[in-house]
Chains A and B, each alone.
Chain A
Amino acid sequence: MSDTTKSAALVLIEQDVGGFSQINLKVMGAVTHLREFAELDVDLLVIGKDCGPVADVAARVPGIRQVLMADGESLEHQLPETLAPWLATIAGEYAYLIVGATTFGKNVLPRVAALMDIQPVTDVVAITSANSFKRPIYAGSALVSVKTDQPIKLLSIRASSFTNVILGEARAAPIIPISAPAAQQMSRFIGQQQVQSARPDLASARVVVSGGRGMQAGENFQLLYQLADKLNAAVGASRAAVDAGFVPNDMQVGQTGKVVAPELYIAIGLSGAVQHLAGMRDSRVVVAINKDPDAPIFQVADYGLIADLFDAVPELIEHL
């Protein structure tokens, strides 16, 4: 392989129910940073069955060389067992393979990496040179700077840390069809269900309302649902509230739950244990409502209201 082919990056495009996922624009924001340190041709890889419309959107991403499109039956569900050996071959031609640090990217990238005998860098939140990156550890309690001299860098990008690139109006790069991988027999897609809730998903919601042990009982979370409905917010909970049996585990925000970074995080009746703070500290604006003036949550809150939540939340709902 010549040096010229080594100065290219391949970005694996993610899809969601709407087709081309908005995550890709954030990932491209990270690629823009990377290009400050390395001269790179950037190719986008669109995979799937009948994925032409997604490739059409991808071709509007500014500053790219080309869109590679693999369209085929075997790629319908983008199973990692099908993708990984094929991607490992394609990625060998590049200096970087980049995906979003979503459940899709997290599932696929390490499998590709192991086949290439490469240690990837996952959850990149900052790019400091062509081969050094920052990533959070201990759920964001610290950032570690790592350097890799491996010939191919495999990166997953934490979207909330980068800004979108803006899609152009018209196609700016050619779409090159490539052949899809063969199917495999070890895994089979059975079904998929999107979250049935009318509320947005906790991980991607613009506003999150969370309750803690101060909610006192599961029924009282109804109050938070009412508030959430006013704000089009997702509802979360502290580990204490989950352990007390108020709400199921999948609502847990924290080091052992989901890590969220919404525009607005409203913590209600929630003391702010270390392990909870680790899961929400990157939120843009934090509001805390708690009757205990010494609750640690007030130390990270932009706006704190010392009040009984059972008075304050109904009033808040009324004012919105």
Chain B
Amino acid sequence: MKILVAIKRVVDPSVRVRPLSDGSGMDIANAKMSINPFCEIAVEEAIRLKEQGHATEVIVVSIGPQAVQEQLRSALALGADRALHIATDSLLEPLSIAKVLHALVLREQPGLILLGKQSIDGDHNQTGQMLAALCGYPQGTFASQLEFKGSEVWVTRELDGGLQTLALAIPAVITTDLRLNQPRFPTMPNIMKARQKPLAVIPVADFGLDLQPRLQILATEAPKSRQQGIKVNSVRELVDKLRQEAKVL
């Protein structure tokens, strides 16, 4: 069984990002970039499933400009077998991303498609669910545990108030939550080996899809900043303030 993992290049979570002062977007021109942390968990899970003998091949795909090849190489260094770069300089919305991935699923016929539950830039939390809909596959979102049982995959999902377990027929789409695993670090020999692994580039236009944006971005602004508060001198004063002034106790 093949596993397809979709990854996104995002600003590294350790970088502080701010909107540009003219409201036209975020100031990220020179920021350090990484694999989206949730996508990295998806890559790790796919590699583990291959190590456990559930999968024969792990394919990673990323959609974006030339630079996403950096993250594809990182995923190859972690243990993915081959990479697909769907080349576009346009910023695609989740629906468009899902359409492209759907076209890839038809080509590659993976048994499992793994994605991060959301990217830490757009924060949409949509692509996996949309892909599952377009494929007509079941979805296991916010997964914290996966287990193969016969022709099904059992997925434990993190809900607001607890955990839910579902049995999904394969092929299925899974989106990963934080608890699923702890991604490994690439070793030096594997980073070297990754340079030799296949990475194919496919222009997005080859799919012949309508990928026009549906949402118009009017402005990007900073949220209301928090007013800096006061220093208290003792625990007693703190409790007093919380009771009398803030009225939260």
Q: Which single residue of chain A is at the shortest CB-CB distance from B240? A: A319
Cβ-closest chain A residue relative to B133? A114
Interface pairs (19), CB distance under 8 Å: A103-B158, A110-B124, A113-B126, A137-B122, A138-B26, A138-B123, A139-B123, A188-B168, A195-B162, A201-B161, A231-B249, A256-B120, A274-B14, A286-B229, A300-B226, A303-B238, A304-B232, A305-B234, A316-B239
In the complex, the answer to whether B161 meets A17 with C-beta atoms within 8 Å is yes
CB distance from B232 to the nearest CB of A (A): 5
Interface contact B231-A305, CB-CB below 8 Å: yes
**B191 at the A/B interface (Cβ < 8 Å)?**
no
Using known A-B contacts A80-B139, A273-B14, A316-B239, determine if residue A188 contacts B167 with beta carbons closer than 8 Å. Answer: yes
* Contact flags A253-268 to B (C-beta < 8 A → 1, else 0): 0011100000110000
Pick the contact of A275 from B14, B129, B234 — CB < 8 Å? Answer: B14
* Chain A: interface size category: 35 or more
- Residues in A neighbouring B184, C-beta threshold 8 A: none
Q: Using CB atoms, name the residue of chain B closest to A258.
A: B178
Which B residues between 75 and 121 are near A, CB-CB below 8 angstroms? 93-95, 98, 120-121
Q: How far is the CB of B211 from chain A (nearest CB, A)?
A: 11
Query: Of all chain A residues, which has the CB nearest B241?
Result: A303
The B contact surface, by secondary structure, is mixed
Given A136-B123, A142-B220, the answer on whether A255 and B226 have CB atoms closer than 8 Å is: no
Which residues of chain B have a CB within 8 Å of any CB of chain A? 11, 13-19, 26, 37-38, 93-95, 98, 120-134, 137-139, 141-142, 144, 152, 154, 157-169, 172, 178-179, 182, 213-223, 226-236, 238-239, 241-242, 246, 248-249
A82-140 with Cβ < 8 A to chain B:
84, 102-104, 106-115, 117-123, 132, 135-140
Residues of A245-304 at the interface with B, using a CB-CB cut-off of 8 Å, are: 248-250, 252, 255-257, 263-264, 273-275, 281, 284-287, 298-304
